[in-house]
């Protein structure tokens, strides 16, 4: 997937991948449509951080969820 171009499809892909990687119980509350392309670069950075790790501490998950909240519309 080419994430170098901001698109709704890429936002949706990254959000779904983050939710799966974190095994988020509240994942249904986080939807791709809650994010717009103006914050795309920040979302890519968060996605790359999450994709690059195999395990997360509780505090890391909390920080990631807070960052997702900050990036919402």
Task: Give 32-49 pLDDT, tens digit per residue.
Answer: 888 888 899 999 999 999
Residue 63 belongs to domain spanning: 8-21+31-71
Query: Quick check: is 43 in a domain?
Result: yes
Spatial separation of the C-alpha atoms in residues 34 and 23, rounded to whole Å? 19
- Over residues 5-32, mean pLDDT: 84
Closest by CA to 12, choosing from 24, 29, 38, 30, is 30
Q: Is the pTM of this model over 0.85?
A: no
Domain for residue 1, yes or no? Answer: no
Q: What is the mean pLDDT of residues 45-62?
A: 92
Whether residue 27 has pLDDT greater than 80 = no
The count of structural domains within the chain is 1
* 4 confidence band (pLDDT: 50, 70, 90): very high
Three-state SS annotation for the chain: CCCCCCCHHHHHHHHHHHHHHHCCCCHHHCCHHHCCHHHHHHHHHHHHHHHCCCCCCHHHHHHHHHHHHHHCC
């Amino acid at each position: 997937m080419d994430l170098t171009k901001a698109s709704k499809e890429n936002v949706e892909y990254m959000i779904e991948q983050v939710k799966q990687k974190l095994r988020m119980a509240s994942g249904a509350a986080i939807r791709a449509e809650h994010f717009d392309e103006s914050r795309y670069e920040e979302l890519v950075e968060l996605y790359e951080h999450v994709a690059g790790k195999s395990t997360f501490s509780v505090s890391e998950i909390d920080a990631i969820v807070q960052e997702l909240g900050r990036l919402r519309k």
